[in-house]
A and B are shown apart, each in its own frame.
Chain A
Amino acid sequence: MIKFIIKFTLTAFLILILTAQKAEAVWKVPFDVKIGNPQNSIERNEYYQTQLIATKTVNNLISAYENKNFARFMNFVSEDFTLDKSILGSSIRQDYLKYSYIRINCFINNVVKSSDGKIAVSLNYTRTIEDRIAGKMTSDSGNTELILIKEDNVYKLFSTRKPYLFGITGI
């Protein structure tokens, strides 16, 4: 385990050092590397910002869905949701009727922003649900993609691909 961590860390730092050396060769100018520069902190990097926004939005959606807070969940769904917001809403209510307990653990793999501002989030999830009628608790896992769009200055769910993370009973 430790071997894996060390290998991965070393590989990443090697890439960084090689990139820096390449940069020095290209510029041929007095060269400086500054670590921990507050003016250029990671918070200002666009990729990082996009990942933070995506993580926050996905967490909000999952938290509201798990807590069966229908109104809050629907607040994080865009009016332009591609498979229809009203139809998704009915499906969410059917989920709440069928399942007495819902928990989702997710790991965000990949976040990509399009030129028109949409954000695609690819994630791995593990979902534990208790079927109230069958009286059975099951756990499943998979990979899916959510598309987010900015609406009223907040990122919301715009589209989702199968397998559906929300609206399990069918959109």
Chain B
Amino acid sequence: MKRKLICSLALCCALNLSTRLVNAKELDVIEVKDLKGGVQQIKTPEPPKEPILLKGKVENQAEFHVLNDIQLNINDVQGPGKASSSHTDGTTYLENMNIYGKGNLGKLDYNFNIGGKATNDNRVELRGMTFTSLQGQAKYGNNTVTGGDVFESFSQYSLNTTLKGASYKYYNADDNLPDVTVVIGNAYPKWENAFKLKDYHMMQRRAYGVNLRHDLTPKLNAGISYLRSDDSDRQADTDTLYNNNIYSLDYEYKPIKGLTVRGESAFSQTKNQAGINEIKHTLFGNAHRIETIAQGGPSRVNLVYERVNPKFETFLGSASQDRQKASAKWKYKYNKNITLNSGFTWFQNSLSNSANRNDNYKPELGVNIKRLFNRRYSEADISFKFDKRTGKRPVNFDHYTNLSYRDRFGFVDMDNNFGFAQYRTSGNARNTYDFNYSTSLGTRHNLGAVVLKPSINAGSNFIEDEILNKIDKIIEYSVGLGMDIPKHKITSNFKFGQNILASPQGDCSNKLFTSISFYYKPSFLGKLNSSTIFLRASINDFNFETRSRNFAEKSISMGLNIPIDLFVGKKDKVERL
């Protein structure tokens, strides 16, 4: 029986191959050779006009790109408060290399990205050489396999983060089968955590899940997801490890034009593998979100309700635990220049504990006006927002008013913001006023081969604390000059700025910043002339009323950015390109 089956398969293959060979010779007669050497001739009523099999031939080709960015940093941090500096004192280097590739082997398309960095700066990385990216993908027809850094976004509550692992996806827009995604991996931030290298040990959270998504009707799309995560490798006796299951259903329904209803319901089961002094327990929680978007004429209305149970746990999704929220937004385009925005958000925390429960109310109103005073580039924004929190704890009542105006006067672009905010807490715990103003002016001039881009930014905050009876003043300004020479591929920028904090009761400070940057794409590098040479230098001086906090930073960075592109394939293909 088995032998017969193999013979029939072989016959079918042989017939198929012979048919292809003969078909190319004479289009109206198909000669079919059988296994014994006999030839049958079949005349087709209408011969195919094109050799379909040849048309489908795919040439193998590949392209690779290497991007190497290397820089040397020389930092000098001085002063008694140097521990507050974000710079590493001394000479450090940083090399960042990425290799990108893509191509095809017949109908199999692939692409990959391998990246790594090398540094001796402990603030950038603890190890000298580390991997930054390891990702590859192969696609054959409707099937896609991804390995390495994998980001499969099932839904907000179930899976919405990257994993180090692998995934498989089946997707076909034309058939009536659901799209399927299967994923497995570990939720580590870095590859060194996955390799369990020294200084990178951390708890392991292994996740595996599946998502099915389907267009049930032309108006209704739904997805179901299951995700499990298991923790292991406790790093301290007090660490709590979890086993978590999430079952989720999400959907999007468009019953009529302009109306969309979408949402998600998820259920979680969480068991803890208790650490020292903890009791084992299993929690069952749920989370629900429903959103309605109505759009018609000049209006767009958005209504959202969400409730996340206190016992709902998602480690790889996104949710604000123990919160109930409702919000409504209405955007109304009065005419092509005036748009009104209004909204109201209410949310409640500590759903199961009435002693800590609080309600938050956030109404807001705004208007955006373009072509104000009939000026072509003018745009104004005015907005008001209240923020009230009530409950057993002290009541907060904050409100914000903001005015902004952008315009162009002659050749100067201008952007102004003025804000006023009041922060008030019951029981005279807080009564603070914040007045803030910022302006920026910028322009661009072509002086022959040189483009000059001067700019000025200035801002101030006056914060009046009525309880402590003091006014804190924050003043910040900067002056910049950009200078580009496009003909020689040179870009440069100079900036000087100051930030002052004047506080009658706190520690006043005065910070000065100067920076210069220079980027040049030299043409003498021939095939590597996309490379960029750069030089950056900065001097920052931090002075405080308490002198033991003073420090100064001087920094010079120089480097080279080299992209290399390679095309690999048939010679004629390369020439044609």
B457 within 8 A of A: yes
Say yes or no: A71 contacts B381, CB within 8 Å. yes
Given contacts A45-B65, A132-B501, A137-B81, contact A112 B150 (CB under 8 A): yes
Output the nearest chain B residue to A161 by Cβ-Cβ distance.
Answer: B161
Say yes or no: B527 contacts A36, CB within 8 Å. yes
Q: How far is the CA of A15 from the CA of B101 in the complex (A)?
A: 12
Q: How far is the CA of A90 from the CA of B423 in the complex (A)?
A: 11
Q: Besides the contacts A26-B60, A139-B86, A159-B156, what 6 more A-B pairs have beta carbons closer than 8 Å?
A: A4-B120, A5-B93, A16-B99, A37-B565, A84-B345, A132-B474
Output the nearest chain B residue to A13 by Cβ-Cβ distance.
Answer: B66
Q: How far is the CA of A133 from the CA of B18 in the complex (A)?
A: 86
Output the nearest chain B residue to A142 by Cβ-Cβ distance.
Answer: B189
From residue 113 to 168 of chain A, which have CB atoms closer than 8 A to chain B?
113-116, 118, 120, 122, 124, 126-128, 130, 132-139, 141, 143, 145, 147, 159, 161
Say yes or no: A143 contacts B190, CB within 8 Å. yes
Say yes or no: A132 contacts B506, CB within 8 Å. yes
A residues in contact with B99, CB < 8 Å: 12, 15-16
B171 within 8 A of A: yes
Given contacts A4-B118, A32-B570, A113-B151, contact A132 B86 (CB under 8 A): no
B568 within 8 A of A: yes
B residues in contact with A29, CB < 8 Å: 60, 570
B153 within 8 A of A: yes
Type the 1/0 row for B461-494, where 1 means its CB is closer than 8 Å to any CB of A.
Answer: 1010000000010100000000000000000000
Q: Which of these, A7, A34, A45, A113, contacts B100 with CB under 8 Å? A: A45
B566 within 8 A of A: yes
Show the binding face of B for A, using Cβ within 8 Å: 60, 62-68, 70, 81, 83-86, 91, 93, 95, 97-103, 105, 111, 113-118, 120, 123-125, 128-129, 132-133, 135, 144, 149-153, 156, 160-162, 169, 171, 181, 189-190, 302, 318-320, 325, 327, 343, 345, 347, 362, 364, 381, 385, 387, 398, 400, 402, 404, 417, 419, 421, 423, 432, 434, 436, 438, 457, 459, 461, 463, 472, 474, 499, 501, 503, 506-507, 509, 511, 526-530, 542, 544-546, 549, 563-571, 574, 577
Q: Which of these, B102, B181, B577, contacts A45 with CB under 8 Å? A: B102
From residue 77 to 132 of chain A, which have CB atoms closer than 8 A to chain B?
79, 82-84, 86-87, 89-90, 93, 96-97, 100-101, 103, 105, 107, 109-116, 118, 120, 122, 124, 126-128, 130, 132
Say yes or no: A105 contacts B568, CB within 8 Å. no
Q: How far is the CA of A71 from the CA of B135 in the complex (A)?
A: 36
Say yes or no: B162 contacts A120, CB within 8 Å. yes
A residues in contact with B474, CB < 8 Å: 100, 132
Q: How far is the CA of A116 from the CA of B252 in the complex (A)?
A: 15
In the assembled complex, the CB of B66 is this many whole angstroms from the nearest CB of chain A, namely: 6
A residues in contact with B70, CB < 8 Å: 5
Interface size for A (C-beta < 8 A) is 86
A33, A45, A84, most chain B CB atoms within 10 A: A45
Say yes or no: B419 contacts A126, CB within 8 Å. no
Say yes or no: A84 contacts B327, CB within 8 Å. yes
B residues in contact with A90, CB < 8 Å: 362, 387, 398
B residues in contact with A113, CB < 8 Å: 151
Say yes or no: B542 contacts A71, CB within 8 Å. no
4 smallest beta-carbon distances between A and B, as pairs: A135-B507, A36-B527, A135-B506, A112-B151
Given contacts A71-B404, A112-B151, contact A32 B124 (CB under 8 A): no
Say yes or no: A112 contacts B135, CB within 8 Å. yes
Say yes or no: A130 contacts B501, CB within 8 Å. yes
Given contacts A19-B101, A115-B152, contact A107 B566 (CB under 8 A): no
Q: How far is the CA of A30 from the CA of B60 in the complex (A)?
A: 11
Say yes or no: B149 contacts A112, CB within 8 Å. yes
Q: Which of these, B67, B149, B152, contacts A42 with CB under 8 Å? A: B67
Say yes or no: A138 contacts B362, CB within 8 Å. no
Q: Which of these, A9, A24, A101, contacts B511 with CB under 8 Å? A: A101
Output the nearest chain A residue to B61 by Cβ-Cβ distance.
Answer: A27
Q: How far is the CA of A69 from the CA of B318 in the complex (A)?
A: 27
Say yes or no: B568 contacts A23, CB within 8 Å. yes
Say yes or no: A1 contacts B463, CB within 8 Å. no
Q: Which of these, B118, B133, B404, B503, contacts A110 with CB under 8 Å? A: B133
Given contacts A16-B99, A71-B404, A83-B318, contact A32 B113 (CB under 8 A): no
In the assembled complex, the CB of A47 is this many whole angstroms from the nearest CB of chain B, namely: 4
Say yes or no: A97 contacts B463, CB within 8 Å. yes
Say yes or no: A71 contacts B568, CB within 8 Å. no
